[in-house]
Structure 1
């Protein structure tokens, strides 16, 4: 399960992050169940224009093998070319900051479009549903991408995020998505 927050390049740049909790997963023989991860990124324009920067943050509870495995995954390593968003983000980033190993406090309710994440000294974010300015009621909007490189179905919401690490973020009421990721080295598992 994950939360992704991105500010669209309406003002020239594209900045955001994603955070996830691995319910069940492995990298080769390395179990990853129960661990969290985050990825913070920024590009001076649209992602496909490149010249971006990124930083992986891995759950401090991970042992050495798990840290190496998650860093490899988040950098798109051992993935077929352009088959996951992590591969694309890494390929479009000229600067890849050293990974951090920190506690990650993350809760998400995809159905209700709500999430909270705290990575002490690095990032805080709150995700919530889109609300109609006319009625004050919550909207439910989904993106369905059957052949995408990130997810199949995402619930769309809004989020506010601050990050003070190698990549700073100050996103207020920006785009947020809530989804389940199912990936392998060949891309999204359908």
Structure 2
């Protein structure tokens, strides 16, 4: 799930829009045979929808420069994009999120809780030359797809990731 704080595709402004991507693979991602479905904020106009669909499917990215390009290349099935209302509450630094796309997805993210205390683990992944992000806060996530989703998800206390993305057509803007 993404909230675009500030962004554009050519002259098309994307500020404030929300998107989600659902993926599934039968094994490791690099083996392919996956499927994906994009969900774009219903508030997006026709130009914004076209721009976002192109970006989310890796269509305007240098080869292998972003995770969107790689995930699309590893997905044999691309389900039709959905245009729905999306609700997102997000606090990256606190590692907390709640997301709802009626009929499609519900999800919640939270910090990793150690079994031996009431505290929270704080874990980060740093990938200075990565194709998705530079730094991600790691948490625990629960996601369930709805009847309108082409991809079935039922994950409890799974891997959760919270990060800020800064991309252009060449990939991650570093620094």
Q: TM-score, normalised by structure 1?
A: 0.90
Matched, 1:148 2:111: no
Alignment of 1:92-111 (within 5 A): 92-111=74-93
Q: Secondary structure at the match of 1:67?
A: helix
* Residue equivalent to 1:166: 150
* Residue equivalent to 2:172: 188
RMSD value, Cα: 0.5
Q: Secondary structure at the match of 1:139?
A: coil
For structure 1, list consecutive stretches of 5 or more residues without a partner in the other structure: 1-18
Output the CA distance in 2 between the equivalents of 1:112 and 1:53.
Answer: 31
* Residue equivalent to 2:61: 79
Output the CA distance in 1 between the equivalents of 2:142 and 2:26.
Answer: 20
Cα deviation, residue 135, structure 1: 1.3
For structure 2, list consecutive stretches of 5 or more residues without a partner in the other structure: none
Q: TM-score, normalised by structure 2?
A: 0.97
Q: Secondary structure at the match of 1:127?
A: strand
* Residue equivalent to 2:108: 126
How many pairs are equivalent? 172
Matched, 1:67 2:49: yes
Output the CA distance in 2 between the equivalents of 1:62 and 1:98.
Answer: 16
Mean Cα displacement is larger for which, 114-123 or 128-137? 128-137
Output the CA distance in 2 between the equivalents of 1:41 and 1:110.
Answer: 22
Output the CA distance in 1 between the equivalents of 2:105 and 2:91.
Answer: 19
Matched, 1:57 2:72: no
Q: Secondary structure at the match of 2:112?
A: strand
Cα deviation, residue 78, structure 1: 1.4
Output the CA distance in 1 between the equivalents of 2:125 and 2:83.
Answer: 32
Moved >3 Å (runs of 4+): none
